[in-house]
Structure 1
Amino acid sequence: MDLAWPPSSDNVGVTGYRVFVNGIPYILLSPVAHQKIAGLTSGAYYWVFVRARDADGNLSAPGPVTVFKTTGEAPCPPPLAPTNVGITPLTSTSVQLRWTLGVGEMTSGTRININGEYKNIALVSSWTLNDLIPEMEYSIRLHTFDYFGQLSESSVDLIYIPKDTQPPSVPKNLREIASSSDSVTLAWEESTDDIGMCGYVICNNREYFDTTPLTHYTAVDLLPGTYAFDVCALDISGNASEPASIAVEIKS
């Protein structure tokens, strides 16, 4: 295979190029911007990239990755598909994916395909998927791949919809900051949530009283007496925190 690329430039001068094949240095220093790659296996996939080297020995960032397949038939049949695929929820936005690696000669790893985008990983049998969006549907398929780039048939499709079950933190430092003969103003510290906050629910004597998006609230038209106020944080998925509580006395 003949590989060529545009020449690089540098303030002290480019002395050559390092060529990588399947992540391994193939040529430590090529003086020209082209290289013949020899000794490859027929019917196999390869990926290559190039890094430029300057006169001070500095290497550039890797150039674009090029993937190609040699002609002919691969020396072994494709591997079998992964089996025993399962999902274990970890948080509202992450899961652990697990499977049994497909059997085959020269098996190299597993390709995880999620909603049409894929990631190749090495010889492991579990992987954590992060940054999932609650209530969004994810279609997950797995393939085994071998050294020659051959893919197995797909595993059974998995459909997973993350659920936000994590409540926000309890409002801290609930306190009375002002009062009158028929009102009281409460304040508290802002709660946090892994997905997003919606607001706060105010309860009076264990019964629903009002909601607010703010971290303070004024209850009005109160009669003289003692009131037990609870404040719960509410996230955008409808999960409520444990309440913060305070007793307030309204004097005539």
Structure 2
Amino acid sequence: MTTVALLGLGVVLPSPGASATAAADTTPPTAPAAPRTSDLSCTAVTFSWSASSDNVGVAFYDIYHDGQLMTSVPGTALSARLTVAPGATWGLYVNARDAAGNVSQASSTVTVAVPQCQSDTEPPSTPTGVTATASGTTVTVRWRPATDNVGVTGYEVLRNGTQVGSTSGAGTTSFTDSGLAANTRYRYQVRARDAQANRSAASTAVAVTTGGSCATAVCSVTKVTTETDLPWGLTTLPDGQVLFGRRDAFEIVRLDPATGAKTVAGRMPGVAGTDGEGGVLGLAVATDFAADPWLYVMHTTTTDNRVVRVRYTGGVLSGTPQVLLTGIPRNKYHNGGRLRFGPDGKLYISTGDGQNGEWAQDLANLAGKVLRINRDGTIPSDNPFGTAVWSYGHRNPQGLAFDSQGRLWEQEFGNNVMDETNLIVRGGNYGWPRCEGTTGSCAEAGFIAPKRTYPVAEGSCSGIAVVRDALYIACLRGARLYRATISGDSLTGVQQYLNGTYGRLRTVEPSADGGLWLTTSNYGDKDSVANNSNESILKVALGQ
């Protein structure tokens, strides 16, 4: 067995040039088996696995944690020494890849809890200089930085003694609290935390009284219901009722916004999880749904990701789903999954790269793309390549939304550097895997630059929505909602809301009354176990 020592992340062995023999090979290797760890320290771990088999031969093993590529090693290696982050909890897994670029399904996930390099029981100092200023029903809290013997990693904001938000990083010393009651007095405190969860005492409280009406973009947030499974796709029907998917339970649920009552409309047949992010994903309905009631669903099977449609009549799913598009590569992560009807009546579909970056540049492959099909699954005659492909060079896009000019905006997960917001054009190449955000070989001819980027630690954003030409972006790791004004082909006036208030935000969708729906993904979003979550579906009232 060969062991490869790796001193950092992001070390990738490039895919070899495909020979005539390799190009004819379309059979992927089997999934690596028996993944395991050993020799764990605060900075490194040895990750091992049993060999995959392949009809020609395994050329590489690609090692990931939680959907992020760490490194690739030769096919002769069955272990690697990986650099890890002190105090992190990561899910490690490995895929096999052959010389033709065929990628296996992933191994099972091994969770590694990395110890700290030194014990630290000393809390940070208490933040000082706390102020709170009201603008309508929004309050902005500011404070001076705290200090720590090792380092401050963030702050927690308390309203009336209860934590309502958090910030990450020692340099972020402000927080916006939105959607408060009018003409109401609130008390705010701030406490600092370090990497080992030591917390300072709460600061001296400051009081502020809100104004008589909302004067900001986010006016109120209401928890309409909770969920034990992951609410991933969500769409609003013409009568104002909401349908959402339970990703790992494979069910479609009808939600009454007025009462919060939920009714299972049906269970999608033929769905399979991926021990990661597969399952029932995006949902969409066309503008003429009342006359032609099809529900469009993207979901994972045991062999692929696909798009189907099923009748929704009398409040329930009926009949056998019609399969519209198959053969979208699936894997543990990187399945994409968002659906959106455009003003042209076509169905747009975001697909992940299936954990094979080269597929994103392969126009013969449906992975790493934005696709466009007619509602019956046929290919529109004006698609740029005569296939379902509308744009390419994407890593894992999970957000699609159209603005008032009919332009398509897209949100895309980066690997470990930058997330992207892109303005999609017909036939456009957005650069992955050669370019991530604005890093890498982004100057290559033909690559289209993103309109905005976000550090992965402040992003990992999934769904997007456009309301009155403001773009709203829901972020998982960043645990916040971004709002940006669409001005020409730029995004301006970017603001952050709900930072740490509700945790990881997955889906944001327009509501029937001009507001937003938000869903969370705080628990169980990295496995395929049904009903192991504790999520919220939130209704957001918007102001200016």
| Normalised TM-score (structure 1) | 0.40
Higher relative contact order (CA closer than 8 Å, sequence separation 6+): 1
The structure with more radius of gyration: 1
